[in-house]
Amino acid sequence: MALVEVGAGLVPAGGGCVQMWKRLSESSVVTPTDWLAVFLQAFQTIAMPMPSSSAQEARKKGFLRPQDRIVFNRDYLIGEAKKEVLRMVEDGYVPPAKMPIKVMGHYAMGAVDANIPDMLAGFKIAPHISTVVRRVAYIISGGTALPGSEISEDYMLSLEREMFVDCWKTEGSQRMAEHMATKGKPLFI
């Protein structure tokens, strides 16, 4: 599992950034000094995707929660998913309430901005990708929110949509997405 949108010149939308940030920041009790480490882990997972090689690795990266069931045989996946949904309905499942999301604001953006030149120099990212990953950082840092403040999930989703559209407006992202769609592999520009 991986969020591969960055390789197509786009930021994950539809909740990809929101869910990754929430899962990693809620996965354990985070002390005030650990927030930057959590932010950087979420940033790297989203912005520099390395597909998980196993379900256990996907769980470690935050794609799967501890309570998520793993089905090893792909042939049973749809049937097991249907059983799981029916069980949830039977048990009276109610979606979790939307809770405020703690963000790091410009403090986190500064950490990313300080690392982008090194990432470019070390050929870890291509020039256009640097603009995309900066947008990822903007989303999970909470945009213009102050460090340590809390924002709503809906606000972070609106940041995702805004940054997705911003990416799509660039010629580089359009070329990358078209290349991914036609060739099946990323174009690094």
- Interval 54-72 mean pLDDT: 90
Asked whether the beta carbons of 9 and 52 are under 8 A apart, the reply is no
Q: What percent of the chain has pLDDT over 70?
A: 96
Average pLDDT, the chain: 91
> What are the residues whose beta carbons fall under 8 Å from the beta carbon of 172, sequence distance 6 or more?
9, 128, 131, 189
For 3, the token pair is: 């969020």
pLDDT level of residue 157 (50, 70, 90 thresholds)? very high
> What are the residues whose beta carbons fall under 8 Å from the beta carbon of 154, sequence distance 6 or more?
98
By C-alpha distance, which of 95, 98, 91 is closest to 26? 98
CA-to-CA distance for 175 and 173, rounded, in angstroms? 5
pLDDT level of residue 28 (50, 70, 90 thresholds)? low
For 36, the token pair is: 């930057």
CA-to-CA distance for 170 and 8, rounded, in angstroms? 12
For residue 182, the Cα-to-chain-centroid distance in whole angstroms is 24
Residue corresponding to tokens 């900066």: 134
By C-alpha distance, which of 149, 148, 170, 151 is closest to 159? 151
Q: With the CA atoms of 167, 172, 177 and 180 taken in that order, what torsion angle do they form, in degrees rounded to the nearest 10?
A: -140
Angle at 124 between CA 1 and CA 136, to 5 degrees: 60
Least confident of 6-10, 63-67, 90-94, 171-175: 63-67
For residue 112, the Cα-to-chain-centroid distance in whole angstroms is 15
What's the pLDDT tens digit per position in 90-130? 999 999 899 999 999 999 999 999 999 998 888 888 999 99
